[in-house]
Amino acid sequence: MQLLWQVLVNGVLLGGLYALMALGLALIWGVLNIVNLAHGALIMLGAYVCYYLFTGFGWDPFAALPVAMLVLFCLGYLLQRYLLNLVIRAPMFNTLLITFGLEVVITYLAQIAFSADFRTINPSYAGANFPLFGATVPVVRILAFGVALALTVALWLLLVRTRIGRAIRATAQNLVAARLYGVDPRRLYALTFGLGAALAGAAGSLYGVVSQINPYIGAGLTAKSFAIAIIGGLENPLYVLVGGLFLGIAEALTALYIGPTYTDVVSFGILVLVLIVRPTGLLGRTA
């Protein structure tokens, strides 16, 4: 019972971070209809921004996180404005391939710039933890979970309450109608992609704190983000949060009861099952 409780706590904490990883992917997918295969590579870049601010300037990783978000926002904005907007009306398959090409390029450049070594962001409080009803909770994990949760809610508020958010949602629903109401899709698409990239940057910073990073983590993180976005559904950031928590707990339970080598079977098995049974996600409206 004690063990189960600890595993559940771990799963929930991991799930929050998973949700933040998938959030940017889901936003870009839902609004721009681009499945961004370079999403994991953007997460990796965010982790390195945080890593170099931490080791080079001695910044606290949680203070470096907004900077990583800003850097990734600019990169994402430029990528969409000057490259992806050129192919946005091509068949969906072409946008899928071009983001794969970007993933290859980003990974290669990262490997040149940062070397292939494993790195960790290790603040002084990395080993600290506290008990919670008998389970041990590492401080960095609960902090990462809190930031992930706050950013998810912030994105939800942005989409629901602000003018920009309304423009984004309107464009996702009907591009032509949004244009008639004065939305400039070129800028709005760039802005949305930038937001998605900024979320990837935040996820990367947190990932660097709780795990190890190297230039090749991107592809695996993209696949995981897919699974989460699909399981939750693309319509609402809060659905993605549920997807992340669901997968985090499912993986933790699998590792406990079936074996750690089966976590991928379970997460991608769930992905395929959800796609076949409910392609709009567990919480999404049925088409």
Q: Is 83 in the site for another protein (CB under 8 A)?
A: yes
Give me the residue label for tokens 């300037």: 57
Q: Is 89 in the site for another protein (CB under 8 A)?
A: yes
CA distance linking residue 152 with residue 145, whole number of Å: 11
Site size with another protein, rule: CB under 8 A: 47
Complex with another protein: residue 32 or 209, whichever CB lies closer: 32
| Residues 98-127 close enough to bind another protein by CB under 8 A | 98, 100-105, 107-109, 112
- From 8, 256, 275, 283, residue interacting with another protein (rule: CB under 8 A): 275
State the first-to-last Cα distance of the chain, in angstroms, to the nearest integer: 41
Q: At closest approach, how far in Å is the CB of 24 from another protein?
A: 16
Dihedrals phi, psi of 213, to nearest 5 degrees: -125, 150
CA distance linking residue 23 with residue 195, whole number of Å: 10
Q: Is 216 in the site for another protein (CB under 8 A)?
A: no
- From 126, 165, 268, 283, residue interacting with another protein (rule: CB under 8 A): 268
- Token readout for 255 is 């590792």
- From 18, 29, 54, 207, residue interacting with another protein (rule: CB under 8 A): 29
Q: Is 85 in the site for another protein (CB under 8 A)?
A: yes
Dihedrals phi, psi of 90, to nearest 5 degrees: -70, 165
Q: Is 161 in the site for another protein (CB under 8 A)?
A: no
Q: At closest approach, how far in Å is the CB of 142 from another protein?
A: 30
CA distance linking residue 22 with residue 224, whole number of Å: 8
Complex with another protein: residue 77 or 189, whichever CB lies closer: 189
- From 7, 21, 35, 198, residue interacting with another protein (rule: CB under 8 A): 35
CA 238 to each of CA 21, 192, 243: distance values in angstroms, whole numbers, following the listed order = 13, 18, 9
- Residue 127 burial by Cβ neighbours in a 10 Å radius (0-12, 13-18, 19+): exposed
Coil/strand/helix, residue 101? helix
- From 227, 228, 240, 241, residue interacting with another protein (rule: CB under 8 A): 227
Which window, 90-98, 113-121, 209-217, 241-249, contacts another protein (CB under 8 A)?
90-98
246-256 core/surface letters (b: 16 or more CB in 10 A; e: else): bbbbbbbbbbb
Residues of this chain that interact with another protein (CB under 8 A) are: 29, 35, 83, 85-98, 100-105, 107-109, 112, 185-186, 189, 219, 223, 226-227, 230, 259, 261-262, 264-265, 268-269, 271-272, 275-276, 279
